[in-house]
Amino acid sequence: MTETDVDPDRAAELRGQMVDALVADGMIISAQVEAVMRTVPRHRFAPDASLDEAYAPYKAVFTKKDAHGVITSSVSAPQIQAMMLEQAEVAQGMRVLEIGSGGYNAALLAELVGEAGEVTTIDIDPDVTARAERLLADTGYARVQVVAGDAEDGVAASAPYDRILVTVGAWDIPPAWIAQLAPKGRLVVPLRIKGLTRSIAFDHAEDHLVGTSGQVCGFVPMQGAGRHQEQQVLVTGTGEIALRFDDGLPVEPSSLDNAVRTPRAESWTGVGVGRQEPFDTLQLFLATVLPGFCIMAVDPDLDTGLVSPSNKWFSMATVDDRSFAYLTTRPTADPQSVEFGVHAFGSGRAALAETVAAQVRAWDQEQRGGPGPRIEVHPVGTPDDQLPAGRVVDKRHSRVTLSWSAAPTADDQAVPHTPTAQGE
């Protein structure tokens, strides 16, 4: 689709409908974000998409894939961009760094900071930056500085930044991002913790970061020095059922071999959830209180029915010694809700099923409807006694802590940090 093929009135109409939908759904809450999303022509940054595709409120536009068909670049879905802009609270005159280029989001940022502000965008793929630079110039945003390079080092030449927005999935927070953030600056980043990605707004607090909000999201993963590959255990010896671990495998992954072929233990929690009700805090809660937390995925082409999760692609799971368990659901008398339950396999299946079920009940009683955990990022060498109470997730450059306002376990309600044998 070239610009000469576009009906400008139709584009404006669809852009207005997109913004109206995001305002109605609470994704856009400020007048500033609403104004810039009504102003910037999103379709100009997705020239290979139709107008309907470019302005679909909840769909990303994929702009590049690698030789294996894996998506490496995209124009993020409008609701994700609106959400992150609201988290960032960008104001006129600010200096902003965007990590992960595409053009459209940088144009939105340029509108928010105005002529007195500065926007720098960086991407590791020179094809992406060349495309972004061309599209920004064509749409009147040539003042945005486009840099080709590995964002692990940030862009020191234009630092410090009042805001840093990361628009690719990050497993860790490199020291350069914190060093280049202004003393009262804010970093908004889709951070992966135990396999769960949340867009978190972090405020700069001396030598560490303090999270102020977290929202569920999904992004193309970071490339270059910041790339991180999760590891997996195939519990049947084939690719049918995979347990994915984000921070290293269990000490003896072979102990799970064929555990799934033992009789299944079940424990139903009595905790119901509406079919459209979000339960993202349950995911983070289980990742906090279950040391063996992982994600189970079932290959639909190889599925023989050995397991029956409610979501075959992404199910919360955990391992313990020679057993593993996963969360599932079953219908209730209310057609609009389901009940959480646990299926477990292996030699300790009954005990593990009840352990997980008990934690689901604890979430229901203590955390449901709450704000979720307080998430902080501290330098990698920070001693344990200088970290807040809670779960510690160690990464290459940082120590991420998750602290809940109510105690999650019986003995001081905090799961101590347990290093894995094959982690970072």
Q: Which of 347, 366, 385 is the last residue of a domain?
A: 366
Cβ contacts of 27 within 8 Å, gap of 6 or more: 79, 82, 83, 86
What are the tens digits of pLDDT across the range 364-397? 999 998 889 999 999 999 999 999 999 999 999 9
Asked if 261 and 208 sit in the same domain, the reply is: no
Asked if 198 and 287 sit in the same domain, the reply is: no
**Residue 414, pLDDT score:** 39
Catalytic residue among 74, 76, 323, 398: 76
Query: Does residue 35 sit within a domain?
Result: yes
What are the tens digits of pLDDT across the range 160-174? 999 999 999 999 999
Query: Active-site residue 73, yes or no?
Result: no
**Residue 64, pLDDT score:** 64
Query: Does residue 36 sit within a domain?
Result: yes
Query: Does residue 386 sit within a domain?
Result: no
Picking from 332, 99, 140, the residue whose alpha carbon sits closest to that of residue 223 is 99
Q: Which of 181, 205, 226 is the last residue of a domain?
A: 226
Asked if 48 and 151 sit in the same domain, the reply is: yes
Picking from 317, 416, 408, 315, the residue whose alpha carbon sits closest to that of residue 368 is 408
Mean pLDDT of the residues in the chain: 90
pLDDT grade, residue 413 (50/70/90)?
very low
Asked if 302 and 355 sit in the same domain, the reply is: yes
> Which range is least confidently modeled, 54-63, 314-323, 336-345, 384-393?
54-63
Picking from 150, 142, 87, 143, the residue whose alpha carbon sits closest to that of residue 122 is 150
How far is 170 from 280, CA to CA, in rounded Å? 19
How far is 264 from 270, CA to CA, in rounded Å? 19
Q: Which of 226, 255, 271 is the last residue of a domain?
A: 226
Which pTM was predicted?
0.89
**Residue 358, pLDDT score:** 98
pLDDT grade, residue 150 (50/70/90)?
very high
**Residue 277, pLDDT score:** 87
What is the average pLDDT across 384-413? 81
**Residue 250, pLDDT score:** 84
- Whether 420 shows a pLDDT value over 90: the answer reads no
> Which range is least confidently modeled, 243-252, 336-345, 365-374?
243-252
**Secondary structure, 3-state, the chain:** CCHHHCCHHHHHHHHHHHHHHHHHCCCCCCHHHHHHHHHCCHHHHCCCCCHHHHCCCCCCEEEEECCCCCEEEEECCHHHHHHHHHHHCCCCCCEEEEECCCCHHHHHHHHHHCCCCEEEEEECCHHHHHHHHHHHHHCCCCCCEEEECCHHHCCHHHCCEEEEEECCEECCCCHHHHHCEEEEEEEEEEEEECCEEEEEEEEEECCEEEEEEEEECCCCECCHHHCCCCEEEECCCCCCEEEEECCCCCCCHHHHCCHHHCCCEEEEEEEEEECCCCCHHHHHHHHHHCCCEEEEEECCCCCCCCCCCCCCCCEEEEEECCEEEEEEEEECCCCCEEEEEEEEEECCHHHHHHHHHHHHHHHHHHCCCCCCCEEEEEECCCCHHHCCCCEEEECCCEEEEEECCCCCCCCCCCCCCCCCCCCC
Q: In the chain, pLDDT over 90 holds for what percent of residues?
A: 76
Asked if 242 and 344 sit in the same domain, the reply is: yes
**Residue 221, pLDDT score:** 86
Picking from 75, 51, 53, the residue whose alpha carbon sits closest to that of residue 63 is 75
The residue segments making up the domain with residue 332 are 231-366
- Whether 76 shows a pLDDT value over 90: the answer reads no
List beta partners, residue 274.
337
Asked if 55 and 126 sit in the same domain, the reply is: yes
Query: Does residue 253 sit within a domain?
Result: yes
Number of domains in the chain: 2
- CATH number for the domain harbouring residue 26: 3.40.50.150
Asked if 99 and 9 sit in the same domain, the reply is: yes
Asked if 207 and 276 sit in the same domain, the reply is: no
**Residue 254, pLDDT score:** 83
What are the tens digits of pLDDT across the range 176-217? 999 999 999 999 999 999 999 999 999 999 889 999 988 888
Query: Does residue 249 sit within a domain?
Result: yes
Asked if 302 and 158 sit in the same domain, the reply is: no
Query: Does residue 49 sit within a domain?
Result: yes
Residue 381 neighbours by CB distance under 10 Å? 8
How far is 50 from 153, CA to CA, in rounded Å? 36
**Residue 65, pLDDT score:** 62
Asked if 248 and 339 sit in the same domain, the reply is: yes
What is the average pLDDT across 138-162? 96
Asked if 209 and 283 sit in the same domain, the reply is: no
Query: Does residue 383 sit within a domain?
Result: no
**Residue 276, pLDDT score:** 84
- Whether 418 shows a pLDDT value over 60: the answer reads no
pLDDT grade, residue 68 (50/70/90)?
low
Asked if 75 and 219 sit in the same domain, the reply is: yes
What are the tens digits of pLDDT across the range 77-102? 999 999 999 999 999 999 999 999 98
Query: Does residue 240 sit within a domain?
Result: yes
